[in-house]
Amino acid sequence: MTSPVSGPMQQVRLIIVGDEILSGRRQDKHMPKLIELLSQRGMQLAGAEFISDDRDVIASTLARSFAGPDAVFCCGGIGATPDDQTRQAAAQALGVPLRLHPEAERLIAERTADTARRSGGSADMSTPENQQRLQMGVFPEGAEIVPNPYNKIPGFYISNHTFMPGFPVIAWPMMEWTLDTRYKHLHHLTTRVEHSFLAFNVPESRITPALEHLEQQWPGVKAFSLPSMGSGRPHIDLGVKGEPEAAAQALAYLRAEVERVGGSLTPPE
């Protein structure tokens, strides 16, 4: 197995490919799931992109992504129908040919035979239908397979990018396997916490200087401010995230600042 790129700048990102997501015909479920899986391992998502099925769009996105050090999960577009262009775009971005991966060929043949035993059909891989199935194992040259416990048809890994289909039932086990094999060295590298509270009777503009000072005083801590724009009692969800001790100090400072500038930590009567 090829070792992934590692280093202090390595982060985890997500790329979602699919016109059906951009048009609203389907809702993305991969980002919240990946955030959950990362959180369980003391990691966090650094960014996500949603792009169309256009091959050139995918290729340009991947070319930029391949140039960086990050661990990237890419969901969608690795099937064998005309709208599936991710495999081809990855090869284009890397400047390598597409090849039928021997292990993918074996696994797809096994899956085809399993299906033939259960539901009929032919296990002869020379038939046009089964030759089309084999296209799902045609990956950029140099790729490694990502195992698929659901139906055996693998995804692939190349240049620190893991490519999976758009189906959650297939993609999510692939995410877990990848995190626990290729990126186990990134688990729980740092302990980070997040604290928040509601502030009342204070406009965001009045507390902003305290947020700016907080990040200067505790450089490893990030502050956030989420004003309520709906009905009910106006408030701001204020908080901090970072290393536990520093975050606790920053939180205490922020709570005190809310009261100092005339705000309240409890809703008005």
SS3 2: coil
pLDDT score recorded for residue 52: 96
224, β-bridge pairs = 239
Indicate if 108 and 29 belong to the same structural domain: yes
Q: How confident is the model at residue 9 (pLDDT cuts 50, 70, 90)?
A: low
- Pair of tokens at residue 1: 């197995």
Q: Give 14-37 pLDDT, tens digit per residue.
A: 999 999 999 999 999 999 999 999
Q: What is the mean pLDDT of residues 226-252?
A: 91
Mean pLDDT, the chain, rounded, equals: 93
Coil, strand or helix: which one is 189?
coil
Task: Give yes or no for residue 7 having a pLDDT over 60.
Answer: no
pLDDT score recorded for residue 1: 65
- Structural domains in the chain (count): 2
Give yes or no: residues 163 and 240 share one domain.
Answer: no
**What is the per-residue pLDDT across 213-235, written as a single tens digit (0 to 9) for each?**
999 999 999 999 999 876 678 89
**Domain final residue, candidates 128, 156, 186:** 186
- 154, 186, 218 - which closes a domain: 186
> Looking at residue 106, what is its pLDDT?
97
Percent with pLDDT over 70 in the chain:
96
Is 47 inside a domain boundary? yes
How confident is the model over 177-203, as pLDDT tens digits? 999 999 999 998 888 889 999 999 999
76 & 202 share domain:
no
Q: Is the same domain home to 226 and 141?
A: no
168 falls within a domain: yes
The sign of the dihedral angle between the CA atoms of 68, 33, 50, 239 is negative
Residues 152-169 pLDDT 10s: 999 999 999 999 999 999
Tell me the Ramachandran region of residue 152: left when phi exceeds 0, alpha when psi lies from -120 to 50, beta otherwise.
Answer: left
Residue 181 sits in the same domain as residue 210: no
Residues 61 and 133 in one domain: yes
Contact 205, 237 (CB under 8 A): no
Quote the CA–CA distance of 55 and 87 in Å, as a whole number.
Answer: 9
Task: Give the integer Cα–Cα distance in Å for 144 and 2.
Answer: 8
CATH assignment of the domain containing 247: 3.30.70.1130
- Please give the structure tokens belonging to residue 199: 């502030």
Round to whole Å and give the CA distance between 132 and 173.
25
Cα separation of 240 and 251, whole Å?
A: 6
Q: Are 182 and 197 members of one domain? A: no
Strand-strand pairing, 193-200 and 235-242 = antiparallel
Q: Is the CA virtual torsion 45, 47, 53, 55 positive or negative?
A: negative
Residue 45 lies in a domain: yes
Instruction: Please tell me whether residues 95 and 150 are part of one structural domain.
Output: yes
d(CA 166, CA 28) in angstroms, rounded, equals 9
Candidate from 4-8, 56-60, 125-129, 134-138 with smallest mean pLDDT: 4-8
Last residue of a domain, one of 136, 155, 186: 186
Q: Looking at residue 232, what is its pLDDT? A: 74
Verify that 103 and 148 share a domain, yes or no: yes
**What is the extent of the structural domain holding 97?**
12-186
Look at residue 267 in the predicted model and tell me its pLDDT.
83
Positions of E strands within 21-70: 45-51
Whether residue 6 is predicted with pLDDT greater than 50 in this model: the reply is: no
Which CATH number goes with the domain that contains 178? Answer: 3.40.980.10
The structure tokens listed for 243 are: 């290393």
**Same domain, yes or no, for 71 and 122?**
yes
d(CA 75, CA 85): 12
Does 56 share its domain with 99?
yes
pLDDT for 4 beyond 90: no
Q: What is the pLDDT of residues 85-142, one digit of tens each?
A: 999 999 999 999 999 999 999 999 999 999 999 988 899 999 999 999 999 999 999 9
Rg (CA), the chain: 24
Report yes or no on 5 lying in a domain: no
